[in-house]
Structure 1
Amino acid sequence: MAAILLPVIYLILLLLLTKSQAIPKVEQWMSATATYTKETDGSISTEGACGYGDLHKASYGKYSAGLSTMLFNKGSTCGACFELRCVNHILWCLQGSPSVILTATDFCPPNYGLSSDYGGWCNFPKEHFEMSEAAFAEIAEKRADIVPVQYRRVKCDRRGGIRFSLSGSAHFFQVLISNVGLDGEVVAVKVKGSKTGWIPMARNWGQNWHCNINLTGQPLSFEVTASTGKTVSSYSVAPPNWQFGGTYEGKQFK
């Protein structure tokens, strides 16, 4: 009898283990700080260290943030989405600790001439978010200089497909990757012309990727890999007569 039950028990344990592994891991809340930068329209609209240009046109708008060195990770985190809430400050945090979801679009540089506790908010290894005034006002009183926050990575909810903005020259091809869903963080890009195979691209800066190949006159396909390991391929995104300065839309992560 015991010999019959033993395989059954092993099977049940295996099924339970498989089910537990299938459940997505919930990101834990982490501690950081946040400040805001003043802009005329209450948002961050200038080009940041990720290369997105006008952040309203890039669809990030006021829900953009500059990250300290620890979080920016040399530009790899560009495009990632974070949920923030103000905590543990009865004077500055809004009642109920409402949260806001931000996209990493810029780098908050360190200022080692100031203490990390007073002015040098982005000094390594501090974890800090520089928000727009409008987004900051959704979680805290604007009278505050700096507030304690909790943050966690969340899925990016994007409208439309991934956008590919082309720049460079005949012998230097560069593409800016934006409007990325899923976790928003791109770790690898490949490009393919009608006369080539898949060509790996190198990160130039932020979410700008490049290769030294002449791709003019060829329809272009792109393969984008997120930090989760998922890959999405968009075929013939740009037509044969594509132009530098043009932006083309491909598939989106599901």
Structure 2
Amino acid sequence: MAMANSRVAALLLVLVASLTLAASVQAGYVGSDWTSGQAHATYYGGADAAGTQGGACGFGNLWSTGYGTDTAALSAALFNSGLSCGACYELKCDTAGSKYCLPGNPSITVTATNYCPQGSEGGWCDTPKQHFDLAHPAFTKLAHEGGGVFPVVYRRVPCAKQGGMRFQINGNPWFLLVLVTNVGGAGDVQQLQVKGERTGWYQMVRNWGQMWQFTGDHTLPGQALSFRATLSDGSVVESWNCAPKNWGFQQVFEGTPAH
């Protein structure tokens, strides 16, 4: 009986450990703690956010790529030379430092889609300042427009996306250029690899923003393509054969969701 009880206990321990591991995997990216007393926000572009389209991340039309108007251009201290493209931040107006915060002090979540360069008006984006240059509609969800600039508290948060990450394939047979969008979880891809159905994994090189290039194998057209993305939290997401054999340039293919 004692031996039977010990076996049951051992099985229970294995089951609990398995459930704990499953829960930790399912939990996904959790973000960071609030940062205060260091960052400010301004806005650029008009009320229709037309002036925020395109940008240094390569996302192009932010409506068609799913980012909308809750977006921000980051100062160099946050932009990380483009590796922060796609990251999501929750912001609040810092009521201790501004009289322009909206009643109730709401928060918003924005996606990094652009770069606010050194020497911009007011010097708010100059190194080493942490700054969010928001699309106008996002700015007015936090503070009265007349404030112009206000202090914020912020934290990294998971990016909530519908469907899987998307890969837009550009270039030509000798120059593969892939734009990665709609990335959930940590949101910002740090490494990207590509694999043809008859090849191993090839390391791609970041061209700019979230544009990744590969020039080592002109036979990839005509092969189904898989992608392996490594995000800033270390998670690795593999999208197997998401581009079929007959894929073409300028086409977009949906892969596996990131959490």
TM over 0.5: yes
Report 1:43-122 matches (<5 A): 45-87=52-94, 88-111=96-119, 119-122=122-125
Equivalenced residue count is: 229
CA RMSD of aligned residues (A): 1.8
Give the C-alpha shift of residue 169 in structure 1: 1.0
Distance change (3 Å), C-alpha of 1:81 and 1:43: farther
Contact 1:156–1:184 (8 Å) recurs in 2: yes
- Give the letter aligned to residue 254 of structure 2: E
Moved more, 88-97 or 143-152: 88-97
Report whether the alignment pairs 1:27 with 2:30. no
TM-score of the superposed pair, with normalisation by structure 1: 0.85
Deviates more, 1:83-92 or 1:147-156: 83-92
Superposed structure 1 runs of 4+ greater than 2 Å apart? 22-26, 28-31, 42-45, 88-91
> How far did 1:94 drift?
1.0
Deviations 1:7-32 (A, max 9, x none): xxxxxxxxxxxx9xx79675232330
Q: Which residue of 1 aligns with 2:186?
A: 183
Distance 1:90-1:192 versus aligned 2 partners, 3 A rule: closer
Answer 1 or 2: which has greater helix percent. Answer: 2
Q: How far apart, CA to CA, are the structure 1 residues paired with 2:150 and 2:84? A: 22
CA separation in 1, counterparts of 2:247 and 2:31?
41
Q: Does 1:201 align with 2:204?
A: yes
Match of 2:155 in 1: 152
Give the AA of the match of 1:55. L
Cα deviation per residue 1:48-67 (whole Å; 9 max; x = unaligned)? 10000001111111111100
Gaps in structure 2 of 5+ consecutive residues:
1-19
Residue identity over aligned pairs, in percent, reads 43
Aligned equivalents of 1:150 and 1:135: distance in 2? 15
Separation in 1, partners of 2:206, 2:86: 14
How many angstroms apart in 1 are the aligned matches of 2:140 and 2:240?
42
Partner residue, 1:3: none
**Alpha-carbon distance in structure 2 between the residues aligned to 1:233 and 1:210:** 18
State the TM-score, normalizing by the size of structure 2.
0.84
Mapped contact 1:222–1:234 kept (Cα < 8 A): yes
Alpha-carbon separation, structure 2, partners of 1:149 and 1:32? 6
CA distance in 2, matches of 1:25, 1:141: 28
Residues 162 and 181 in structure 1, CA contact (< 8 A), matched pair in contact too? yes
Give distance in 2, aligned partners of 1:54 and 1:135.
Answer: 17
Q: Report if the CA contact (8 A) 1:43-1:61 is conserved.
A: no
Structure 1 gaps of 5+ residues are 1-18
